[in-house]
Amino acid sequence: MAMTVSRIEQGNCHVIDVDTQVQPSRIRRRTSLSDVASWRPSGGGTDLALPFQ
């Protein structure tokens, strides 16, 4: 989804990866959905309030 938004918005968006803290995003312009699917989750939960804080 984030990759589609980035392409549609022509880079005028910022992807924020979160789990229990905000992480630098590994998603780049050429990242494919299969790339993302192969990444291992960090585990420990997800705090979706973090991007808004």
* Domain, as residue range, for 17: 2-52
- State pLDDT tens for residues 7-36: 666 666 677 777 888 878 887 777 777 887
Tell me how many domains the chain contains: 1
pTM of the prediction?
0.47
**Mean pLDDT score, 31-53:** 80
Output the DSSP codes for the chain: -HHHHHHHTTT-----EESSSEE-----TT--HHHHHHSPP--S---TTGGG-
Q: What confidence score (pLDDT) does residue 5 get? A: 62
Whether pLDDT at 49 is above 80: yes
Q: Per-residue confidence at 45, pLDDT binned at 50, 70, 90?
A: confident
Q: What confidence score (pLDDT) does residue 25 get? A: 81
